[in-house]
Amino acid sequence: METLNFTSAISEILAAHTGLPQAELERCLETPADSKVGHYAFPCFNLAKVLKKSPQVIASELAEKIEAGRPGWLGQAVATNAYINFFLNRTAFANNVLYSVLEAGTEYGSSEEGFGKKILVEYSSPNIAKHFHIGHLGTTIIGRTLDNIYRFLGYEVTSINFFGDWGTQFGKLITAYLKWGSKEEIEKTEIAGLVKLYVKFHEEADKDPTLNDEARAWVVKMQNGDEQGIAIWKWFCELSMLEYDRIYERLQISFDVLSGESHYNDKMDAIAQLLAQKGLLQESDGAKIVDLEAYNMPPCLILKRDGGTLYPTRDIAAAIDRYERFDFDKSLYVTGNEQSLHFAQWMKVVELMGYPWASGLLHIPYGMYLFESGKMSTRRGDVIKIEDLLDEAVTKTLEIINEKNPDLPNKERVAEQVGIGALKFNKLYNSRMKDTMFDWDRILSFDGETGPYVQYTHARACSVLKKSLSADSRLDFGELGLALISGSTFDAGLLSDDESFDVLRIMHDFPAKIKDAAEKYEPFIIARQLVALAQAYNIFYHKHQIIVDDEPVRRARLTLTAAVKLVLKTGLGLLGISAPVVM
Ligand code: ARG
CA–CA separation, 204 and 200 (whole Å): 6
Beta carbons of 331 and 360 less than 8 angstroms apart? yes
CA–CA separation, 59 and 322 (whole Å): 49
Residue 122 has pLDDT above 50, yes or no: yes
- DSSP H or E run through 537: helix 524-543
CA–CA separation, 397 and 408 (whole Å): 13
- Domains in the chain, start-ordered, CATH in brackets? 6-88 (3.30.1360.70), 118-266+316-370 (3.40.50.620)
> What atom of ligand 1 comes closest to residue 163's alpha carbon?
1
Q: What is the mean predicted confidence (pLDDT) over 507-519? A: 95
Q: Model confidence at 378, in pLDDT bands (50, 70, 90)? A: very low
N-terminal to C-terminal alpha carbon distance within the chain = 37
**Ligand 1 centroid – CA 424 distance (Å):** 20
CA–CA separation, 123 and 144 (whole Å): 7
Residue 392 has pLDDT above 60, yes or no: yes
Beta-carbon contacts of residue 415 (< 8 Å; ≥ 6 apart): 394, 395, 397, 398, 401
pLDDT for the residue 69: 93
From the list 30, 32, 2, 34, the residue with the least C-alpha distance to 14 is 30
pLDDT for the residue 514: 97
From the list 59, 124, 115, 113, the residue with the least C-alpha distance to 86 is 59
**Ligand 1 centroid – CA 501 distance (Å):** 46
CA–CA separation, 540 and 534 (whole Å): 10
**Ligand 1 centroid – CA 106 distance (Å):** 34
| Beta-carbon count within 10 A of 299 CB | 16
Amino acid, res. 148: N
269-273, 305-309, 382-386, range with greatest mean pLDDT: 269-273
CA–CA separation, 510 and 119 (whole Å): 23
CA distances from 235 to 219, 366, 430 (A): 16, 32, 39
Beta carbons of 582 and 414 less than 8 angstroms apart? yes
From the list 265, 178, 173, 167, the residue with the least C-alpha distance to 215 is 173
CA–CA separation, 231 and 407 (whole Å): 52
pLDDT for the residue 569: 98
| Beta-carbon count within 10 A of 563 CB | 26
Q: What is the mean predicted confidence (pLDDT) over 144-164? A: 98
Q: 149 in helix, strand or coil?
A: helix
CA–CA separation, 512 and 110 (whole Å): 10
> What atom of ligand 1 comes closest to residue 135's alpha carbon?
4
Residue 43 has pLDDT above 50, yes or no: yes
**Ligand 1 centroid – CA 158 distance (Å):** 17
Tell me the pTM: 0.93
Q: What is the mean predicted confidence (pLDDT) over 344-370? A: 97
pLDDT for the residue 380: 47
Provide the strand spans (E) within 388-511: 436-437
CA–CA separation, 172 and 201 (whole Å): 7
**Ligand 1 centroid – CA 257 distance (Å):** 15
Which DSSP string corresponds to 267-311?
GHHHHHHHHHHTT-EEEETTEEEE--GGGTSPPEEEE-TTS-B-H
Instruction: Tell me 160's DSSP state.
Output: E
Question: Residues, the chain, total?
Answer: 583
Residue 137 has pLDDT above 60, yes or no: yes
pLDDT for the residue 351: 98
pLDDT for the residue 491: 97
Pocket test for ligand 1, best of 122, 131, 162, 309 (most atoms within 8 A of CB): 162
CA–CA separation, 150 and 112 (whole Å): 10
Tell me the torsion sign for CA atoms 340, 233, 268, 325.
negative
Q: Model confidence at 363, in pLDDT bands (50, 70, 90)? A: very high
Residue 260's DSSP bridge partners are 163
Residue 471 has pLDDT above 80, yes or no: no
Residue with CA at minimum distance from ligand 1 atom 10? 315
Alpha helix segments (H runs only) across 71-190? 90-104, 137-152, 169-180, 183-189
Alpha helix segments (H runs only) across 105-159? 137-152
From the list 153, 151, 142, the residue with the least C-alpha distance to 425 is 142
Pocket test for ligand 1, best of 339, 342, 350, 364 (most atoms within 8 A of CB): 339
- For a pLDDT cut of 70, what percent of the chain falls above it? 97
Q: Are strands 156-163 and 118-122 parallel, antiparallel or unpaired?
A: parallel
CA 164 to chain centre: 22
Q: Model confidence at 374, in pLDDT bands (50, 70, 90)? A: low
> What atom of ligand 1 comes closest to residue 342's alpha carbon?
11
**Ligand 1 centroid – CA 524 distance (Å):** 23
Residue 295 has pLDDT above 90, yes or no: yes
Where does ligand 1 bind, in terms of residues with CB under 6 Å? 122, 125, 127, 162, 164, 315, 333, 335
Q: Is 286 exposed, middle or buried (0-12, 13-18, 19+ CB in 10 A)?
A: exposed
**Ligand 1 centroid – CA 170 distance (Å):** 16
Q: Are strands 374-375 and 369-371 parallel, antiparallel or unpaired?
A: antiparallel
> What atom of ligand 1 comes closest to residue 336's alpha carbon?
12
**Ligand 1 centroid – CA 125 distance (Å):** 6
Residue 474 has pLDDT above 80, yes or no: no
Q: What is the mean predicted confidence (pLDDT) over 2-13? A: 83
Q: Are strands 40-43 and 257-260 parallel, antiparallel or unpaired?
A: unpaired
Beta-carbon contacts of residue 38 (< 8 Å; ≥ 6 apart): 32, 78, 83, 85, 86, 87
**Ligand 1 centroid – CA 153 distance (Å):** 27
Q: Model confidence at 391, in pLDDT bands (50, 70, 90)? A: very high
Q: Model confidence at 304, in pLDDT bands (50, 70, 90)? A: confident
Residue with CA at minimum distance from ligand 1 atom 5? 125
Residue 381 has pLDDT above 90, yes or no: no
Beta carbons of 107 and 504 less than 8 angstroms apart? no
Residue 382 has pLDDT above 70, yes or no: no
Beta carbons of 524 and 430 less than 8 angstroms apart? yes
pLDDT for the residue 497: 95
From the list 360, 324, 335, 330, the residue with the least C-alpha distance to 119 is 330
Residue with CA at minimum distance from ligand 1 atom 1? 164
Pocket test for ligand 1, best of 121, 124, 125, 309 (most atoms within 8 A of CB): 125
CA–CA separation, 178 and 231 (whole Å): 13
Exposed e or buried b per residue across 501-531, where buried means at least 16 C-beta atoms within 10 angstroms of its C-beta = bbbbbbbbbbbbbbbbbbeebbbbbbbbbbb
Residue 332 has pLDDT above 80, yes or no: yes
**Ligand 1 centroid – CA 233 distance (Å):** 19
pLDDT in tens, 238-288: 999 999 999 999 999 999 999 999 999 889 899 999 999 999 999 999 999
Residue with CA at minimum distance from ligand 1 atom 11? 315
Q: 100 in helix, strand or coil?
A: helix
Q: What is the mean predicted confidence (pLDDT) over 29-50? A: 90
> What atom of ligand 1 comes closest to residue 311's alpha carbon?
11
pLDDT in tens, 168-195: 899 999 999 999 999 999 999 999 999 9
- DSSP H or E run through 335: strand 330-336
pLDDT for the residue 305: 84
pLDDT for the residue 373: 63
Q: What is the mean predicted confidence (pLDDT) over 538-555? A: 96
Beta-carbon contacts of residue 298 (< 8 Å; ≥ 6 apart): 292, 341, 345
**Ligand 1 centroid – CA 121 distance (Å):** 13
